[in-house]
Structure 1
């Protein structure tokens, strides 16, 4: 009698539609490329429609299915309007985010509100909107919020940013509990410092660069490619029993 072996779950995303917010550059763009390469139809969303169109054109040249839409997730009315005529998305990757770094004694209310409007309020209501569509259609789904290692630790000049990402970790766990019965999984990806155009100023600061290199046990900063395999994993059936979790991509930063 031949032993029946387990079947390896598929990492493919064929016939799935993914919405990627913050997809015009950096981590968001990398996630869009990874999901498209895995077979998903990707919808790229961002405030910067010009950069978004360039990203869309490049993905399309690879032979992948892609659409670009202008969307500011800090505008909840815009989110509601966008989802009025949308079919349900099987996958959400919310990579839209921002930072206004300063010593906590110098934080302005304007900087605080701007960060929270995108990183927390926008992320919350975008995740809610995608889940509503899935529940109405009685479909399963995978919702992924790009959080940060700073959602688990603190950092110099990053009190507001850390607060926003700790909050994302909290609502992700609560939503995972509420929507598990609908077979909707909700998780976060928590990168360390990733080299992008937006983080270059941090790496240009010798003191900050030294701090980063000392904290990352693997001895190097992250690259956007380090996120790509993780997002495909969480979006696919290969992670079918994972929800309410935070996938750390931090080179061991939080292992201490």
Structure 2
């Protein structure tokens, strides 16, 4: 029987990260779910293949301590999914440096630290690996009152390409996924407003929005051997959000 693969998923307590934990467990992976909150993913504790790690990824020390702890626990990852993310809705003129930095710390710096540390471990063990970063269509365009989020997601796509270039010779693949509007806890407020719902529909070529599993399906492909020749790529899954807008 093939050895179970280990997969680390950050942002595992909600949204896309939570959906990914559920799917990869169902697919027979050994999953480590990482989040500052653990209330929702605690339902998976009954599964012996699930391990929970509580961590504030905006804290550099906590982020940098994660990979050594996993190595010590014999949970060396085969795949790393950086899905943790936050966003602000604040006009630039009202946005504090502290708020800007917190978004950058979680969305970008944590992804850098965990990807770097995973690659260090894989290199030491002469092991191939796979990193999947969750970016956003906000990493391809500007959006109202989201300077920190937009900046962080543009940077995540750039980081993905940089890491892919540097790690490719080691057999480490790095790709990103840019979701459009996905119905999660982060966006739920949009769907409480009928005008916003209509606006979301009107701005998607498919006239609808996405669900977390639409993104998880792409994760599964990128984590599989079928994607062995794919690295440095950004997969846009947005229902046509960035294809064009009505004038």
The TM-score with structure 1 as length reference comes to 0.88
Aligned residue number for residue 86 of structure 1: 70
Q: Does 1:76 align with 2:60?
A: yes
Aligned residue among 187, 192, 210 for 1:204: 192
1:156 counterpart SS class: coil
Aligned residue number for residue 139 of structure 2: 151
1:232 counterpart SS class: helix
Q: Does 1:65 align with 2:54?
A: no
Contact 2:45–2:51 at 8 Å: present in 1 too? no
Contact 1:119–1:165 at 8 Å: present in 2 too? yes
Contact 2:67–2:114 at 8 Å: present in 1 too? no
1:18 counterpart SS class: strand
- RMSD, matched Cα: 1.7
Q: What are the superposed Cα offsets for residues 89-113 of structure 1, whole Å, 9 maximum, x if unpaired?
A: 1101111000111222322222211
Aligned residue among 225, 228, 238 for 1:250: 238
Moved beyond 6 Å, runs of 4+ = none
Q: Does 1:182 align with 2:166?
A: no
Aligned residue pairs total: 239
Aligned residue number for residue 26 of structure 2: 37
Contact 1:218–1:251 at 8 Å: present in 2 too? yes
Contact 1:73–1:126 at 8 Å: present in 2 too? no
The TM-score with structure 2 as length reference comes to 0.91
Q: State the alpha-carbon separation in 2 of the partners of residues 100 and 14 from structure 1.
A: 41
Aligned residue among 17, 23, 33 for 1:28: 17
